[in-house]
Structure 1
Amino acid sequence: MTTSHSFLRFSKLNSITLSLLAVSSFATVAKEANETQTAKKDIEAITVTATKRSQVIYEVPIAMSAFSGDKLAEQGISEITDVGKFVPNLSITGFSAGHNSSANPFIRGIGLQDHLITTDPGVSVYVDGVYLGRQVGQNWNLANIERIEVLRGPQGTLYGRNSIGGAINIITKQASSESVTKLSAEVGTRERVKGDVFINRGLTENLAFNFNAGYNQRGGLGEFINLPEAKYDVGENREFHGRVSVKYDATEDLSFIVTADANDAEGGLRPYTTLIDEMPNGAYYTGMRFGSPTPTGPLRNSDVAADPYDNATGSIEVTEVTNKASGVSLTTNYNISNELGAKFIVSNRSSEYKAGLDDDSTIYALDHYPERGEADQTSVELQLNGYLGQFDFVSGLYWFEEEGSNRQGDDSSFNGGANLLELDQTTTSKAVFVNVGYDMTDDLRVSGGLRYTQDEKEAMANVGIGPTYAKDDWSQLSYDLSANYTLENGLNVYGSIQSGYQGGQFPARPYCLFGDPNCFVATDNITAVNYEVGLKGQVTSDFSMSIALFNTNYDDLPYQVSTTSEGGFDTRNLVVSQTSRGIEWEGTAYITDNFSIHSSLGYMDVDVDEQAGVKPVAPLTPDLTASISPNYEFALSDGSLINTRIDYSYRSDMYGEPSSDPNRLTKVESRGLVNFTVGYSPANANWRVDLYGRNIFDERYDDARLNTGDYVLVIKSNDASEFGVRYSMTF
């Protein structure tokens, strides 16, 4: 076989890998040259090359959603938390340490309430195949994005640890020989100013690069009423970001991609407030804590800012938040032969942040916790993929190491005294995996996979009484088995059994050490097994859909429960068994060539076993999520196009923590949001202008609630209404 034929064969091989990893999406066949055609043509058979024949994406046996990067702005998606508004059974909130850049994804009732280094998320996030270990301090900007994919349910075999709820893939645009320059600018209410530039060039026949850089700012929602010297308002954001990628085709069989990115952001503490006098036995109401009067005496809600989007803190240290992140990765693709291919990914990333909360939300220095955190991670993955007779396979080795720390500084105080929290942790993870597929007939495909993981954590905690050291290790064999069958009408039915795994976790804020010097102990393995059946495909030329039913069992799942203690803000792990079951729907209907409606619906029932006679609830887990997005495009007499789109998203109520207290103080009420875009594209022009509105009815809602026993923290959304204009040009 010639080298060129070998290269084509390897292109098919790469598609097999993407299919098995479920990283092909609805956007893979939408070519920019056809974007001005009618919507109906965009629904034509979406294909990936799997094994030795073409397969529609619906043959991939997994529940997933995908977003085209070029369409994110039209849908009102300006940050990663917005993605959670349009995916069934996905909720993404941002509240960690009062930071504006944090992202806390929950899929099917699984996520992480906390962010400290001793805890791991339950939903993994990847950028170009590189796992992001932390949920705060990362580079979350959505510039230069090819697509975003959300995989629902445990993904332990191919995505590894910390994906017991699912995985989110962010795929950036690869460099190519095409000469493209894109400029975009956005101005709007709430002091919105945003600008991006993207450049792609082929330097030689074998060398290409792309580059993007941008600036994004948004004004605040309130003021620090007792600190006029505060640098930023409540909820204000400023960010610079950039990414560069270079691709070198050494031969037709060997290519290298080097990517580097960085961001630098700062702003004001996110909106939140504190409920005090609704708990008549709490320390703030009585002025007594642990048998002694508090320095401030009794507090009332009148001591908190009257407007919940203002903040009455007297601690300048907590008013400003910052985050920086940078990373570099090398991806090597090598076509060993027409039957085998190898892929190598090595990456190093670092992130850091400054944040913190003043829990009492008053001018008094009672419970304020300025905080800093940082993490450095290195990962290496080697894949061997290909064909073996009638089988195709993906296999690999994986290694990951993260060193991180959190500090609550000397300027943090509790009950008038010093309160020092130090956390350090080193995590090492190693894994080997394989996934094999086989076409039993033209219509029936089966696949299965195994992954063996070894994790080790070394941690240190100091709550002001000296360091405490701990070490633990875990191992787990994850598996999956799936089959999908193409019906006579072209629809695909699938069934799968998937398992997921997460290593144990040390307590996040172990002030229990004051009373129990042995309490700094990690939990056991967290395991998940998911049973799922689904039906998806193109019902007619005008209607496509996917529907999935699932039942997932989780064992040794830690919930974070926080209270105030004599030492400080005490966070412990409540270990539970949980069962999540539900249904998910996504569909696109083309009413006419110009009018389409996309919809999604997720319903979930979560049952948690009783703990000491108390039945917990799954935190930050709405039982109903839904969205509907009508889109209408029409041409003017001169050939110009007008595109109008409305997006409505709904999330039912949920609880902010595992305890559904009888006074419903931790209940987060439901919310419904509406975005719109009206776009104008002149005929034969290279530019477009859009009028947009986000959260047009100015829905103010809570992101989370936390009842410590003395007070309730109410973390507000930073998502007020915004209207503006966006201009983009491509040449």
Structure 2
Amino acid sequence: MTITNKSIKGVCHLNPIAAATAFALASLSITPALAEAVEAKKESKIEAITVTATKRSQVIYEVPIAMSAFSGDELASQGISDITDVGKFVPNLNITGFSAGHNSSANPFIRGIGLQDHLITTDPGVSVYVDGVYLGRQVGQNWNLANIERIEVLRGPQGTLYGRNSIGGAINIITKQPDQDAVTKVSAEVGTRGRLKGSIFTNQAVNDDLAFNFNLGFNRRGGLGEFTNLPNAEFDVGENQEFHGRFSLKYNASDDLRVVFTADANDGEGGTRPYTTLIDEMPNGRLYQNGLRNSDVAADPYDNATGTIETSTVSNNANGLSLTLDYDINEELGTKFIFSKRSSEYKAGLDDDGAVVGLDHYPERGTADQTSVELQFTGYLGNVDFVTGLYWFNEEGSNRQSASEASFDGGPTKLELDQETTSRAVFVNVGYDATDDLRLSGGVRYTEDEKSASTNVFDPIGTIYSNKEWDDVSWEVASNYTFENGLNWYATVQTGYQSGQYPARPYFLINQFFGAGGFDNPEAPAIVRANNAFIASENISAINYETGFKGQLTNDFSMSVAFFNTEYDDLPYQVSVVTDAGFDTNNLVVEQTSRGIEFESTYLITDNFTLHSSLGFMDVDVEEQNGVKPVAPLTPELTASISPSYEFELNNSALVTTRLDISYRDSMYGEPSSDVRRMTQIDSRTTVNFDISYAPLNADWTVSLYGRNVFDERYDDARLNTGDYILLIKSNDASEFGVRYNATF
């Protein structure tokens, strides 16, 4: 689809960490007008780009939202191998991975909103898309950043164009589409801590209309500790390995119709993530009263003293198919159709007592299957452009803890949790170029959600079923103005929506059973079910007021700054406590206000020396409840990064590129409770990476020396105060040094 009568006010480039590329949900062809604008900007030392953040082509500074963009090539040059590392360099973004001890999950938090749990009844507050396909679950997915064209991070509610689970923001992962270039790339990496990584990518054209690409990869990393009481454990603590692959086929059926088919899969396994349990700090807790002490858990928190083999291993695998059709009706109108089916499953679990005794251990399994369909209709009519569409999503998933494997207080415990979610939406977004310098835009989205859930935590009660429906209208209005010097001012009001959530571990139902008479009352199960205690929270709503400036102030300096205030209603925090009946996770519904500032810049100090930086500050206020003031979990007040890079030529004309990446995350709380002894407070951390690459003149290969977390900063991913003990989930991040080789043919 081409763009006509479209004002091109300048093509600029913004990237806080590395050279930025297009911010897009769906790739669109660069038009002749845009190409001319790029040509006109060649005198700039900062690369020119266009973006499609609003599902149509725009200059990046004309998009009235705060965002960051990373190209796949730059991610590779930095040695970034997973999405968790990306989270170290975006303001007010924190990515953790602690789900049930799994070492391959990724839980992003943007501006104080994220996912505290992983069970099927919890929904993320930050949506993740791969090539326009929403990932409903964030455990068991393929997070290896191979065959990546770019990654984009949108901050703030994105309810109009991105839908129901984007009240905190959205992350788009866009892979490389097949084209006519014949290219093959291989890479290999060997390093400390048993790092062994290899991948191959090839893109080939069969004929003028048919092309394909695929990549295959393997990634292994050794552990950080041992299972001291399990000599036959298959993996060490924190060890992981994964095979992954992706195949994409593109067919130009005509000049107007393009078809892309994609299939991907991954298969991973390893040892549980490092964690430890603090018992002495809770002398009134059940573990302490049963005679356990801190001396009973492993002395080194990166070792594990469990005696339960079922909680020593984790596994994950996922696979998916997608079909995308792009059709140009004419030069001004076009349509896009995206169909996808995905499946994922995992095995994980924790031994919460951390000792050899079989007191509290919870091995679990989970599955999720999803189908999604999206139809878009896009147009450019004079000074007006629009995108409208229909969306349908269905997910079925389950979680299981078998009573034959799981134990609570030394006795069997079970969890059966199932949920089916169906979501339907219709949306429209319109932009109007009022003048060459002023653009106005707005949009609206109507969403209907239905969830059918069931749970069984106690056989005498049996399975309890529940069903609920929600609907909501999300909207946004925005304007942006370009000044003579190219600086762009924007202001936007956005809303977001998320359907309510069922409790993740409803062991409180057992207490209700005994309160109704228990085994002495044959009607107790019916009474518990009649109480309708297994119910979902109300739908969550968000409204964001934001203004900012973006621009390339000189040929050497580009920047963006954003000021925001976001208000959330009926936001559920997942709170886990140990009750007499079991490890209970329920929803604490709060009102939250997040306000702050974000800054990103790229400064070309010389032709060879570049400095990238980012800074985020956020103040989060949560309404007091029953005399207790909760806090936003896993949300640092201050985030910052600085990344200088320098390149120079040797006497033989070989190019050497050096880069240093320093990331800072302020202290935060691991759960919604800020107890007076700060038992759940996570300390601040600073991590440092370096990369030194050598590329001979006219050669097709590069060799690099790398260091990740070079000062071996050990930090916590989460802390939970269960009332009985403190659970410390340690990061699987540790220092690593090695050599990376890349070749292109």
Q: TM-score range by the shorter chain?
A: over 0.9
* One-letter identity of the residue aligned with 1:627: S
Q: Which runs of 4+ in 1 moved over 6 A?
A: 10-13
**1:50, 1:629 → 2: CA distance?**
25
* One-letter identity of the residue aligned with 1:399: W
Corresponding position of 1:720: 734
Corresponding position of 1:584: 598
Deviation at 1:388, TM superposition (A): 3.4
**1:572, 1:10 → 2: CA distance?**
53
> Any idea what the Cα deviations from partners look like across 1:35-66, whole Å, max 9, x if unmatched?
xxxx9965144345999x99531111110001
Is contact 1:667-1:705 (8 Å) kept?
yes
Corresponding position of 2:329: 336
Corresponding position of 1:4: none
**1:704, 1:678 → 2: CA distance?**
33
1:460/1:719 Cα in 2 relative to 1: closer, same or farther (>3 Å)? same
* One-letter identity of the residue aligned with 1:515: N
Q: 2:394 aligns with which of 401, 418, 435?
A: 401
Correspondence 1:69 to 2:72: yes
* One-letter identity of the residue aligned with 2:552: Q
> Any idea what the Cα deviations from partners look like across 1:386-410, whole Å, max 9, x if unmatched?
0234311000000000000000123
**1:278, 1:471 → 2: CA distance?**
41
Q: 1:708 aligns with which of 722, 725, 734?
A: 722
* One-letter identity of the residue aligned with 1:461: T
**1:726, 1:497 → 2: CA distance?**
45
Q: 2:659 aligns with which of 624, 645, 667?
A: 645
* One-letter identity of the residue aligned with 2:497: Y
Corresponding position of 2:312: 319
Q: 1:119 aligns with which of 122, 125, 133?
A: 122
* One-letter identity of the residue aligned with 1:508: A
Is contact 2:93-2:110 (8 Å) kept?
yes
Give the alignment's TM-score, normalised by structure 2. 0.91
Q: 1:104 aligns with which of 97, 100, 107?
A: 107
Q: 1:88 aligns with which of 61, 67, 91?
A: 91
Correspondence 1:540 to 2:543: no
Deviation at 1:284, TM superposition (A): 1.5
Corresponding position of 1:626: 640
Correspondence 1:388 to 2:370: no
RMSD: 1.9
**2:580, 2:51 → 1: CA distance?**
59
**2:378, 2:340 → 1: CA distance?**
20
Correspondence 1:557 to 2:571: yes
- Mapping of 1:559-708 within 5 angstroms? 559-708=573-722
Is contact 1:10-1:341 (8 Å) kept?
no
Corresponding position of 1:196: 199
- Mapping of 1:111-190 within 5 angstroms? 111-190=114-193
1:44/1:128 Cα in 2 relative to 1: closer, same or farther (>3 Å)? closer
Is contact 1:652-1:670 (8 Å) kept?
yes
Corresponding position of 2:346: 353
Is contact 1:12-1:49 (8 Å) kept?
no
**1:531, 1:50 → 2: CA distance?**
19
Corresponding position of 2:294: 301
> Any idea what the Cα deviations from partners look like across 1:526-584, whole Å, max 9, x if unmatched?
00000000101101000000000000000000001111112211001000000000000
**2:58, 2:268 → 1: CA distance?**
43
**2:53, 2:472 → 1: CA distance?**
29
Give the alignment's TM-score, normalised by structure 1. 0.93
Correspondence 1:27 to 2:21: yes
Deviation at 1:522, TM superposition (A): 0.2
Correspondence 1:419 to 2:422: no
**1:45, 1:268 → 2: CA distance?**
45
**2:206, 2:218 → 1: CA distance?**
27
Corresponding position of 1:207: 210
Is contact 1:96-1:114 (8 Å) kept?
yes
Corresponding position of 2:432: 438
Correspondence 1:494 to 2:490: yes
Corresponding position of 2:364: 371
- Mapping of 1:247-266 within 5 angstroms? 247-266=250-269
Q: 2:500 aligns with which of 500, 504, 511?
A: 504
* One-letter identity of the residue aligned with 2:622: V
* One-letter identity of the residue aligned with 2:713: E
Deviation at 1:78, TM superposition (A): 1.4
Is contact 1:76-1:82 (8 Å) kept?
no
Is contact 1:318-1:369 (8 Å) kept?
yes
The alignment partner of 1:496 has SS state of: strand
Worse-superposed segment, 511-520 or 334-343: 511-520
**2:669, 2:110 → 1: CA distance?**
15
**1:526, 1:357 → 2: CA distance?**
30
Worse-superposed segment, 532-541 or 411-420: 411-420
The alignment partner of 1:72 has SS state of: helix
**1:655, 1:78 → 2: CA distance?**
27
Is contact 1:10-1:335 (8 Å) kept?
no
Deviation at 1:378, TM superposition (A): 0.1
* One-letter identity of the residue aligned with 2:576: S
**1:508, 1:247 → 2: CA distance?**
41
- Mapping of 1:28-47 within 5 angstroms? 28=22, 43-47=46-50
**2:200, 2:193 → 1: CA distance?**
23
**2:117, 2:558 → 1: CA distance?**
38
1:8/1:720 Cα in 2 relative to 1: closer, same or farther (>3 Å)? same
Is contact 2:616-2:638 (8 Å) kept?
yes
Is contact 2:497-2:542 (8 Å) kept?
yes
> Any idea what the Cα deviations from partners look like across 1:308-351, whole Å, max 9, x if unmatched?
00000000001010000000000000011222100000000000
Corresponding position of 1:34: none
1:54/1:607 Cα in 2 relative to 1: closer, same or farther (>3 Å)? closer
